[in-house]
């Protein structure tokens, strides 16, 4: 059985003010039936890769095939069997209702009218959007609009769906509803494949069978979330709460594998992956000598974020 997605030595260069290498010699295989995640910071190349696989963009070099068809030569064959949804999408027509917009997009895939209406009704109910079905698109909230976008992607019953940051900017409850549906869609339908890009660690960890970590256009690692976490190996993961200070110099301390620092409510949360526990003493000394105070300290089991830091050397944000 051919893989759902096969990418070999794929590169993409954007010309303009100087050439930008968005994808650098990427190799990737996604098997049929997988829920596969692409995890990386903004600008890592996730969206560029999705655009190439969706036939919106051509590779500069290398090859990519989707459902056994080459993205360059057989775009039309691919398009019949896929769909895509992007987070923050503003597509559709504001003067049409949600139901009318959805119907229009199903017709672009030739879905028979009755089948389209039944699928749309069922998905509207699943996403709790039936009350807004006849509201003009321009009158609904961002979350409702994004739910419509997700429904649009699934209403054509694709064999392979590409979701580019599908929960971007959404509230917690909407994100949970969408994640639940995505998980069920792959599990309950044999042979359906999903490629999901996200920069939310939790989303990747909760949903994906395998995750590729992508950074600066290169695939850094591909594994299951558990496998990626194991790669932290003997390292130790710490969460340190401090008073505000500049933590950047700590990156260069011996034994510090990776670090993220986020200010929060007048203090700072620093997440660190260290070679071993003994390094924490040097870290604390560094914090104190910077004039800051340690408010809290905890040692954690490695998370996907720690794995990312371990592999890339920095956090996602």
Partner 1 sequence: MSDWALNLRAGMARAYARTVGATREPSWVVFDVLLPLLGVAAYIYYYRALGADPAFEGFVVLGGAMTAFWLNVLWGMAAQLYWEREVGNLQLFMVAPMSRMALLAGMALGGLFTSAVRALSTLVLGVLIFQVHMSVADPLALAAVFSLTMLAVYGMGMVLSSLFLMYGRDAWNISNLMQEPVYLVSGFYFPVRELGLGVSALATLIPVTLGLDAMRQLLFGAASQGLLPVWLEASMLALQAAAFFLLARFSLDRMEQRGRREGRLTLRWQ
Report the interface residues with partner 1, using CB under 8 A: 14, 47, 51, 54-58, 76, 79-80, 82-84, 86, 89-93, 95-96, 100-101, 103-105, 107-110, 112, 136, 152
Tell me how far, at minimum, the Cβ of 79 lies from partner 1, in Å: 4
Q: Contact at 8 Å (CB) between 195 and 36?
A: yes
- Our CB check for partner 1 shows the closer of 14 and 185 to be 14
Tell me how far, at minimum, the Cβ of 111 lies from partner 1, in Å: 8
Phi first, then psi: give them for residue 221, nearest 5 degrees.
-160, 150
- Our CB check for partner 1 shows the closer of 56 and 226 to be 56
Largest separation between any pair of C-alpha atoms in the chain? 70
- Our CB check for partner 1 shows the closer of 157 and 209 to be 157
- Residues near 87 by Cβ (< 8 Å), separated by ≥ 6? 146, 164, 165, 166, 167, 168, 169, 170
Beta bridge partners of 269: 241, 262
Tokens encoding 76: 């039309």
CA distance 171 to 224: 27
- Residues near 213 by Cβ (< 8 Å), separated by ≥ 6? 39, 40, 219, 220, 221, 222, 228, 307, 308, 311, 312
Tell me how far, at minimum, the Cβ of 99 lies from partner 1, in Å: 12
On the CB side of 289, how many CA atoms lie within 13 Å of its CA? 8
Tell me how far, at minimum, the Cβ of 281 lies from partner 1, in Å: 45
- Our CB check for partner 1 shows the closer of 88 and 313 to be 88
- Our CB check for partner 1 shows the closer of 137 and 214 to be 137
Tell me how far, at minimum, the Cβ of 33 lies from partner 1, in Å: 22
Q: Which residues of 179-190 are buried (b: 16+ CB within 10 A; e: fewer)?
A: bebbeebbeeee
- Our CB check for partner 1 shows the closer of 63 and 243 to be 63
Tell me how far, at minimum, the Cβ of 197 lies from partner 1, in Å: 12
List, edge to edge, every strand of the sheet that includes 69-70: 20-30, 5-14, 61-66, 69-70
- Our CB check for partner 1 shows the closer of 110 and 254 to be 110
Tell me how far, at minimum, the Cβ of 209 lies from partner 1, in Å: 24
Tokens encoding 292: 């800051």
- Our CB check for partner 1 shows the closer of 112 and 169 to be 112
Tell me how far, at minimum, the Cβ of 96 lies from partner 1, in Å: 6
- Our CB check for partner 1 shows the closer of 15 and 190 to be 15
Within the chain, strands assigned E span 5-14, 20-30, 35-39, 61-66, 69-70, 82-86, 160-164, 193-198, 210-215, 218-223, 236-242, 256-264, 267-274, 294-300
Task: Tell me which residue of 306, 132, 143 sits closest to 230, measured CA to CA.
Answer: 306
Tell me how far, at minimum, the Cβ of 14 lies from partner 1, in Å: 6
């Amino acid at each position: 059985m051919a893989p759902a997605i096969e990418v070999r030595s794929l590169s993409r260069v954007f010309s303009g003010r100087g050439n930008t290498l968005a994808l650098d010699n990427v190799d990737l295989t996604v098997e049929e039936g997988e829920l596969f995640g692409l995890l990386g910071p903004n600008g890592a190349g996730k969206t560029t890769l999705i655009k190439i696989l969706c036939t919106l963009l051509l590779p500069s070099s290398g090859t990519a095939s989707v459902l056994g068809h080459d993205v360059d030569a057989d775009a039309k064959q691919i398009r019949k069997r896929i769909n895509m949804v992007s987070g923050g999408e503003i597509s559709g027509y504001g003067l049409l209702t949600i139901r009318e917009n959805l119907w229009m997009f199903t017709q672009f895939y030739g879905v028979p009218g009755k089948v389209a209406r039944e699928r749309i009704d069922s998905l509207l109910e699943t996403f709790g959007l039936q009350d807004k079905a006849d509201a003009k698109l321009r009158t609904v909230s961002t979350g409702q609009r994004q739910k419509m976008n997700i429904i649009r992607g699934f209403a054509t019953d694709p064999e392979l769906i590409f979701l580019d940051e599908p929960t971007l900017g959404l509230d917690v409850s909407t994100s949970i509803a969408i994640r639940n549906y995505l998980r069920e869609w792959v599990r309950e339908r044999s042979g359906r494949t999903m490629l999901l890009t996200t920069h939310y660690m939790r989303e990747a960890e909760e949903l994906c069978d395998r995750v590729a970590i992508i950074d600066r256009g290169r695939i850094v690692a591909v594994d299951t979330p558990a496998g990626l976490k194991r790669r932290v190996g003997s390292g130790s993961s710490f969460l340190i709460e401090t008073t505000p200070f500049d933590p950047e110099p700590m990156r260069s301390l011996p034994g510090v594998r990776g670090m993220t620092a986020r200010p929060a409510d007048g203090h700072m949360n620093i997440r660190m992956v260290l070679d071993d526990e003994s390094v924490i003493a040097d870290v604390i000394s560094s914090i104190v000598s910077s004039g800051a105070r340690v408010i809290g300290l905890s040692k954690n089991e490695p998370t996907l974020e720690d794995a990312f830091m371990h592999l890339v050397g920095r956090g996602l944000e």
